[in-house]
Structure 1
Amino acid sequence: MRPLEGLRVIDLTHVLAGPFATHQLRCLGAEVVKIERPGHGDVMRALAARPELGGITPGFAALNAGKKSVTLDLKSEAGRADLLRLVATADVFVENFRPGAAARLGLDPAAIRAARPGIVCCSISGWGQSGDMAGLRAYDHVVQAATGMMALQGTDPSGPPIKVGFPVIDIATGMTAASAILAALLRRARGDQADITLDVSMADSAALLMAGTVAQVRATGKPPPRIGNRGFVGSPGADTFATRDGHVSVAANTMGQFRRLCAVLDRPDLSAPPHLPDGLPDGAFLADMAGETLRAGLAEAFARAEAAPLEAALIAQGVPAARVRDLHEYLSELYPRMGGIDLPGGGGALGAGWRWLGEAPIEGGPPPRLGEHNAEFLAAPPG
């Protein structure tokens, strides 16, 4: 069963956060009609910078497989009229203009609902639709800086800020928006006919990603420390260690796991006094027990090992561990062993990030060329 089959989404989003939200809906079976500027399209197409790709860059393809592209000039009366005719056939309307821009075009939620009563409206922005910061521009790394996320990375308290190595807030915002839209559609399915306008912001999504840390800061009134590549619980065996030929990340959080880790390293003494209290049961959590002497002993032991054999030995002993890989190594070594969640026909695009056990994922389809579906939707009144 395709849970969103028969539902139409009008998608006025571009770049990452909004397209990722509608990509999630497409993965669940919705028809997504992507509205783009004539001659330009979504900036992720890079039409001017990479004309040899014909508007289908890897970044665009990843988030737009199976969508339909219609070009409309929304600054013209004719373009807005065509859009509202499309809206009249839809169930969801999503935009990620700066707050106020849709209203200036005559496409605010009231106008959208006038064309289609009961439609779910979702607005995605950097800082939300209200408040003093609503009009500010926002990009992923800027929001990482503003929300404290950048200040969390690294180990040196006096060192420079470090951003997460991919647009984590954009993607989280897309996930949040998709979840909110699904909740709104469930309200509709249960008979709720109230007007629904969703306000999804990058800043709120960033805070949600850091929910546990946010709670800690509110409780203590202090900024969180930088812990670098260590585990969050402070166990001596939860860290990322340098080996002779790479790095291995380990999560030996319980006493039993830590004993097995030390045995594999041929340093059983590190799991006994004076490094740790005597008599701790296997299930004891080693929170905040990573003393400097113990950490130094572990680092020395790891430095004598090779990464791949050590990873295998720890996994065999039931200790969570992974050799630090780059993304290419992960996709070529481990991802195929999981069965993958690629969209069939999607040119390598990922699916929704989870699986229907025993069922094939919904077909992806290729990403659309700019304006590819104009004739389908604009040559005659859409239905």
Structure 2
Amino acid sequence: MEKWITTAPIPEDYFRGAVELETTGQGTLPHRLPASARAQTTDPQLLMAESQPSGVRLAFRSRASALELELIRSRTTFSGLRPRPDGAVDLVVDGQVHDSSATGGGKTTTIDMATGTLSEVADGTWTIRFDDLPEGTHDIELWLPHNERIELIALRTNAPLEPTALTGLPVWVHHGSSISHGSNATSPTAIWPAIAARLGGVELTNLGFGGSALLDPFTARAIRDMAADVISLKIGINLVNLDLMRLRALGPAIHGFLDTIREGHPETPLLLVSAIYCPIHEDTPGPGAFDLESLAAGELRFRATGDPAESASGKLTLRVIREELDRIVRERSKSDPKLHYLDGLELYGEADYAELPLPDALHPDQATHRLMGERFARLAFAANAPLSPAGLSPAALPPAGLPPSAPH
């Protein structure tokens, strides 16, 4: 009988990309916002999003030929729509994606789109197993599902393991919306920030929160207090599709968000990124809503409900926000030379939409995640790019012809 070594609970020094770990009655729950921030919001969307471990991974070194990860997942599905794919745990060996395995069991909450009622099914723990790891001692990472809440119960290996020493690579803290969170990506290493981090030679801490890139002061304070060598903020789409504020409030809110981060990172390279191309909100304000005709056909699509004429009175569109972000960075960079702006249309623009349309009119598909990750790596991390200052020595990237992402 195979002899297993059980690590439970999993020690803190095995985690990468988590902001805080919570000990539950069953295991360890990674968080991407600290308790101090979570205490300042009652928004269930944000609380769900930050507890989904996008970009969080376990990192250890071992000569194990097989391993198991026992976990409890929590996921949300919608009745009447095509079932959402299960989450996945990706196995990375010596920096290369080696295998991937779907999650199961746990708690599933189903939302009836017609009535808004909820139903729940609980089905216990789930064990992910990977066999046939390469012979010898290797650096191993287990990337946790980006789109499911995960409590980790135990890690089992058939050989001793130890936490991987810190790489010494620059730490990249990135904040953004559901697109940065990884919506519609097929696996945790296939979200665009993970692709960009791998190509750019940086360690990712992903603060992409679905529906929640809203300039919340507690998020700025969390970033202020984190270790970071480079920082990027992708702002725009959630402000529009939640119809959160008007142009009068946007400028001061952006300044305040940046001021707070600068309290802890006065000279850290910081890249402010605007939204990618999204036709429904380019010139039409929010709020966004479900497209009811598509829902009736069993498909999830979004639409804008505002009136384009309302932008004249201060309602926000993506075009308006891009102009404001550009203006703010041009003004602030006179006294803050390490603050930079990247137009999101350079990551995904109108021509890209013609070739790779957004399947639900809002979120990119997997091919577009790959495209965005490769472009961001070139535009942000290549030699002389905004997040590649002297002294950090990230991987030099050519101006074109980026290598393809690792297979999944």
**Fold match (TM-score > 0.5):** no
Higher helix share: 1
Bigger Cα Rg: 1
Higher strand share: 2
Higher relative contact order (CA 8 A, sep 6+): 1
